[in-house]
Structure 1
């Protein structure tokens, strides 16, 4: 007997915090919606519940204007009539970092917990694709279900459901599995999250509505429980829903209509699902579609914002948090309140229509202010932590070389030992205004005196080659905790040198000392080995006449040609989607002579500048504006590129460090053209079918060739820190800072990596005409990349291309993180001049975070396994800690771990597993801060 059908109607609104209207205009509308919701819940006892879009920021935004409504809001949440969480915001998963995705879930849970109830549902209604590790993150948070609107195609052409093999799933219900094997039950909004919107209460209209809607939902459902989402983007509350449901029950008595919620709906579905549901593994990126609506090109809209986001989240999670944790291990307070504010401020920029750059100009102007606010807080935390750490180091040793030595710490906050060239700005003399000296005399005293007799030494007193720049007199001030501000003049210099083998999660101290007849500071061989050729022990880099690079990886002899070629194409798409201008072909710098000169030639680094002048069309044809205003869908546009041209000047700085295994690229250009895309091309010459790209807690392998259904000529992808093409024991990795879009261009076995540097468009796109002149990105831009060729060590056991590239991957991750410098004075301390605050080892493990848990004050450290085999993590207790626990992404204490005879923890990490450990400080009582 056929089981009777149940219609589950879930009321909601998908609240884009900002999008086609600026934030505050959406804010006003949201206040009206929430007022109406509370009034409806009070008035209509049969209006059972409302799903508040899976994000807790709505509560903050509402109560900011309506604090008097908090008691009612809390009551409805505790009564289960308003469902909140588990996220803080509905983020774009691919454009926010791994740790930002975790903070989003952590803060969402914490904020929801204050109301007593958390919706334990992985809610991704409109993410532009879904990260492959989402099931693992959700399961670690105690969440067993996920619902999503994009990323997987359940049916074939014309709702064909028979050919399962050609598509990801024949149903809207499926198992979604992470790379580590974690599974959640996934529900696709196959008819979108508005399939139950505005249900008619008038009988004839209701009959037509439900006849159509029931048929649509039944095509996808594997159970008799049909999901209808009663809402849409910024949808007001349907206040007559109770009457509309009563009418539906009268018209279709054989069907049960329920004003439901996700908890009840998923319980019923789990009891009815068939045993042969499809298992969808890893990333959900809409690969089995025509490729026109994957929205991946939001990764290159307003690139300047992606760069700011990379800087801000990196500074928070890879600089400020580990520094504060290091200081905390030695008695400093950990500023949870400041981190909470900085993360929340940053995450207000992480909703998909915000960080994706697909909103009106006013939205993105406000975002730049939020980026600055978050960064300023993070910098303040880092500065205080660095000062505290510097006080711990025993710098008195430098007094043996010079009683007035200037010591400073170089701090490495990454998870691996690090060597690299850096610059440090140091004061060699300071006089406070309070000194009583006459003002002009004070300035003169600061200015006078030579700085030519300084020598840079390391902790062992060994002289370090360096270059010094005299910065002259500088104004500064202190802000003491117990005094009025204290201004001063200082004599400052900038020293540039190579810091060698700085410990992971630690520091190495250096000192400026005066020595008579100090001698040459630049000794040794130049890295320049001919005209426009740089060579170190690992690489040879030749700059060709057209500005491209020929790079030789010396250990293998592998040669990569025509690297760093520029490509410019017209773009008649929008903030969501790239569409090459009609009838146009790409313009490149290949074969065009460049102006080349040597910029830097020191013992530790050589740099060459390459100047290009490219003639490109100034915009699209005038017909594009008409097509935009008339809402011609971008796939049907016929606009080409303008006949008017302008000159784009591009300056590229190519640098090779003495001990560097990569080549640093800094490209600066002033964009004056509209409607175009600029990319940098890196032909690999490797004939392989797949590549690897850094993503959220994984480096997934992706195919170079799209699925058969793909019709879009472009096949761009998301990346975080890098993309790698590898095979036959060698490979090429291109690391980036805030350049989230790439493509693998195929042809003649080259597999060229194309990284988008700029995409300039003039409209939002989507459902109407919203001009966005600032999305043309007129002005100066600077982008940074690193080229890292690699080869498998001779005699090494054959493994996967990804495992062979582990050293390269660590370099790519370190490329994201700035060095931190802290000047200090001569003083005694408890720590040596070279020190690591956390020591660990583990093959093919990526280090993710070091911070402090808000509850119980444990130090939290996290890793993830990059390979498909189990790996062993060996980690020492951080100083002042004596207990360790397995944890999860919600930072809960789970199983207590025991150290071995050497007082080290040894933990096996499954393939692709995200492993979090908590370390309790020795001075803490169990369960107390």
Structure 2
């Protein structure tokens, strides 16, 4: 019987393939003329470029070339009374335009690289005439890109197909009848009655097919209808299906191509909606919608109309789908603020779901950010990619570092490109871990990244599987409706506590170092700009540049997309984004200088001979050395304020500072170096402690083989001994309050120079590093062993810290072989600890008592020559008494990253005193992360958070006239009035709690 079934199976499969080929009958060729250009041109400029008359098989462009193709011809008389289509394949992506220049329908080449189990990527059928008369004129324009969905140069950019064809509708419908039943049968056991029933009907249907014409198709469909009409019983599980088209804003293509991918995909969605009344589609990322509005206004209006008609769901609460490991805390807040406001303003929709299907792990700070922004739900896919441990839930409550919970769902099929076949439905049912607790799971179907989202095949299958016997019911509905359904059982679901760590793609914490540095610096510069602009507007007639700041923020947020900031895009993306970062940083610097200058005009300095104004944007008093045009001064600057100093002569007392060929020393710390340049000793004189364990060395500049790509490196990389940079020369000197050793190293063709700096009165040892990196498939790391006993490292993340294991006791511990931290990682026992800080790095390994920092990687895919070139960065060793809280590690790391701002003053005797704090906090564990203008009025917004994992009471004092203070959410809404006493308000913080104040002035 089994042998007989397999014979039938092979025969049925062959018939299905023949049916597929018989769906369209080509009846005429089209004439094709193209105009090609290196970069896209608008519809009205389509005749620009090189003109080419094309024939089938002819190459029309090189990778990333663009073109406008004019397809002309005539419908033959044989088409009379028949549905007529155009079959077009340019071996690239394309979009059909109407006569007014509005995108109508995307096309993609059949030969695109894609996993065909998820569907056929080629969209080559252009709907033309529902019922032809014959002799109709064909005259259409298609904009093209000479690349497939994933940036490949397919078949040398040849014109593959350009034809008029008859759509044999009964054959087409028969194909999907066959396909759904055949796929369902193969998900059922061979001894299952339903399996045998379907097999019999399929085999019977094949018997009537000889010529594959309409008459035969009608007979075959009648046979199969018996099986398609069989319904399921009362379900214990139902599946909510929503059309999807995941579009990476850059990845294996440049940003400019994403804009066109958006038009192709969205126009295809709208065209499919006209043909399939049950079709519901969703898409995220306001940035993508903004591009549609900017570049394709007529298409954008059609999208808005579709949203109004409840056919299209705008999704996601963030401006883009960003990396959440590396992006700063305030950046994640702005993603939500700008994202939610866009969808509210443009579509009158309040976003309740964070939609991040493809992001490489999720910070434990997210649940609180989301809940305090009015976002109740979170959807992702990516944790299903973890390589070592299976994540235990699909529907669960995710608990953040502060205790906030958010309802989370991961579609159990583990993809956002579902084929929507019976196999996909069966796999969802089989793999869903909460079945029995929950009666719903989600399925995202369609082809992304320019593939046009769902195709006719997806929707034809879903139409047949609504309640098909042998499958759980499938209903097309919006994701928000799905979450409302499962929310009723929220208390039944398990809880996951802490970050959602992806056991994959740890290389993205380091890849494309220049881009990561630009991002860190821009986040800090924007923080400074908003602080300066707000103070200037409070104390002057200075106009806060809100529109300009928002525009810069949104571009920075774009570059935080999860294939840009992590370093997993092609080289062109980084060439372009780094160039833009330079422009943005210069614009930001000039605006900051303008704001501080406006404020300086109000600051008195009449009795000071050579006045300089020093600004401090941090929320505590800073005592630091600063170099003012060659003169070193030790100054004290109030919290969130400024001080006027007289440049005068340097006030440096160099007593206690020592710099020799092998020693740096000040009053607190003595550092000794071995002959190879490594650190052999760090002695804490104040606490009588040796930092470096006996027999070990710190700051080994180790080069490892790295045969990975931008996403991943081999977890066993460190089992092969590294090669170290070799010391070439060493020079020591004292510069003002700084004892310095300059070390020069070589490795291969690469050179590394470090100024190792110990500053007077400081416990921090800075390694100011310049690398000329000329390696490929190598990884550069430094390591610091410390004489501290602990089983956990404390890691700086957004709005708080997270503890991670220093051991590999379990497979879950071992999977965290590379971890993400922002400004610092600390190893402490109760009485003493050591932190490793940095100004632009994110990838750490912590094992036993050693902190290891990933400095550079030089992978070759997808970005060739990654990190090849010049790099400047700083990392610092910071020994301290007590744990990271007692040792004020966070403050020191903020000060490393956010320098004091100085400018030459003028001789004024005006409104403001020579020293002033605008905002002061009496609790050192409460940090002000941002000060900005409110989004909708001229109030001041102050964002604060508790950073020591303690319940804290804090008094916030405002050094200017305040009319009212309200506690608001992150969206600056839902106000609660706070009482003000002498310009002071009291706030209670739970551990790691974020508060946002709205201050009327």
| Range class of TM-score, shorter chain | 0.7 to 0.9
In structure 2, the residue matched to 1:268 is 485
Query: Is 1:884 equivalent to 2:965 in the alignment?
Result: yes
Deviation, 1:860, is 1.2
- Residues 840 and 539 of structure 1: is their aligned pair in 2 closer, same or farther, counting only changes over 3 Å? same
Match of 1:538 in 2: 668
Cα 1:416–1:586 change in 2 (3 A) is farther
Separation (CA, whole Å) in 2 of partners of 1:185 and 1:736: 34
CA shift, 1:672, in A, is 1.8
Classify the secondary structure of the residue corresponding to 2:835.
strand
Offset from partner CA, 1:766-820 (integer Å, 9 cap, x none): xxxxxx3221x2222222112111003xxxxxxxx34323x22101111111321
Q: Where does the alignment leave 5 or more consecutive residues of structure 2 unmatched?
A: 1-232
C-alpha distance in 2 between matches for 1:828 and 1:329: 19
After superposition, the Cα gap between the structure-2 partners of 1:761 and 1:823, relative to the gap in structure 1 and judged at 3 Å, is same
1:668 counterpart residue number: 770
In the alignment, is residue 683 of structure 1 matched against residue 785 of structure 2? yes
| CA apart distance, 1:264 | 1.2
Alignment match, 1:335 = 545
- d(CA) in 2 for partners of 1:544, 1:574: 35
The SS at the match of 1:915 is: strand
For residue 4 of structure 1, report the CA deviation from its aligned partner: 3.7
Instruction: Report the equivalent of 1:745.
Output: 847
Match of 1:857 in 2: 938
In structure 2, the residue matched to 1:726 is 828
Gaps of 5+ in 1: 158-166, 200-205, 399-404, 425-493, 615-645, 765-771, 793-800, 922-929
- Pairing 1:459-474 to 2, within 5 Å after superposition: none
Contact 1:207–1:251 (Cα < 8 Å) also in 2: no
Is contact 1:570-1:581 (8 Å) kept? no
CA–CA separation in structure 1 for the residues paired with 2:337 and 2:718: 49
Contact 2:794 2:827 in 1 (8 A): yes
Q: Matches of 2:793 and 2:630 in 1, distance apart?
A: 40
Please tell me whether the aligned partners of residues 940 and 998 of structure 2 are also in contact (alpha carbons under 8 angstroms): yes
Q: Distance in 1 between matches of 2:258 and 2:328?
A: 26
Report Cα offsets for 1:316-338 as digits up to 9, x if no partner: 12x11111111121132211101
Q: Matches of residues 104-183 of structure 1 in structure 2 within 5 Å?
A: 104-115=335-346, 116-151=348-383, 169=392, 171-183=393-405
Aligned position for 1:50: 281
Offset at residue 42 of structure 1 (A) = 4.5
Residue of structure 1 equivalent to 2:879 = 789
What's the TM-score once normalised by structure 1's chain length? Answer: 0.78
CA separation in 2, counterparts of 1:547 and 1:701?
32
Map of 2:74 onto structure 1: none
SS at match of 2:655: coil
Deviation per residue, 1:440-473 (Å, 9 max, x gap): xxxxxxxxxxxxxxxxxxxxxxxxxxxxxxxxxx
**Among candidates 686, 702, 711, match of residue 555 of structure 1:** 686
Q: Which of 894, 903, 917 in structure 1 is aligned with 2:975?
A: 894
**Equivalent position SS for 2:350:** coil
Closer, same or farther: CA 880–224 of 1 in aligned 2, 3 Å: same
TM-score of the superposed pair, with normalisation by structure 2: 0.72
**Separation in 1, partners of 2:994, 2:752:** 41
Structure ranking higher on relative contact order (CA contacts 8 Å, 6+ apart): 1
Q: Say what the alpha-carbon RMSD is for the aligned residues.
A: 2.6
Structure 1 CA distance, aligned partners of 2:991 and 2:377? 22
Aligned residue number for residue 226 of structure 2: none
Q: CA deviation at 1:409?
A: 0.8
Asked whether the 8 Å contact 2:959–2:983 carries over to 1, the reply is no
1:65 partnered with 2:274 = no
Q: Contact conserved, 1:565 with 1:588, CA < 8 A, in 2?
A: no
Displacement, 1:2?
7.1
Q: Structure 2 CA distance, aligned partners of 1:894 and 1:674?
A: 54
> Match of 1:699, SS?
strand
| Equivalent residues of 1:571, 1:581 under 8 A apart | no
Q: Deviations over 1:209-258 (max 9, x none)?
A: 54455434478674221311113532423243553322113633874321
Per mean C-alpha deviation after superposition, the further-off stretch among 412-421 and 529-538 is: 529-538
The whole-number CA distance in structure 2 between the counterparts of 1:60 and 1:704 is 45
Instruction: Classify the secondary structure of the residue corresponding to 1:28.
Output: helix
- Which residue is 2:419 aligned to? 198
Shift of 1:753: 0.7
Q: Residue by residue, what CA displacement relative to the aligned partner does 1:527-582 show, whole Å, maximum 9, x if unpaired?
A: 11765433323222223322123212222111123222211111011100112798
Once the two structures are superposed, the pairs formed by residues 341-352 of structure 1 within 5 Å of their partners are 341-352=551-562
Q: How does 1:805-844 map to 2 (within 5 A)?
A: 805=887, 807-844=888-925
In 2: Cα distance, 1:762 partner to 1:531 partner: 39
Contact 2:819 2:845 in 1 (8 A): yes
Whether the 8 Å CA contact 2:388–2:815 is kept in 1: the answer is no
Of 483, 503, 507, the match for 1:297? 507
8 Å Cα contact 1:745/1:753 also seen in 2: yes
Name 1:428's counterpart in structure 2.
Answer: none
Q: Which has the larger radius of gyration?
A: 2
Specify whether residues 547 and 531 from structure 1 end up closer, same or farther in structure 2 by C-alpha distance, changes over 3 A only.
closer
8 Å Cα contact 2:616-2:641 kept in structure 1:
yes
Tell me if the contact between 1:223 and 1:269 (Cα under 8 Å) persists in the aligned partners: yes
1:438 matched to which residue of 2? none
1:236 is matched with which residue: 452, 459, 468?
452
Offset, 1:821: 1.7
1:37 corresponds to 2:264: no
Q: Say whether the 8 Å CA contact 1:420–1:657 is kept in structure 2.
A: no
Aligned-pair CA distance for 1:726: 0.7
Cα-to-partner distance string for 1:687-742 (whole Å, 9 max, x where unaligned): 21101111111111111124623597981111111111111411111110111111
Any idea what the Cα deviations from partners look like across 1:256-310, whole Å, max 9, x if unmatched? 321111121112222356x542110110104xxxx4xx21210110111111111
Of 794, 819, 822, the match for 1:692? 794
Q: Which residue of 1 aligns with 2:630?
A: 495
Residue matched to 1:23: 255
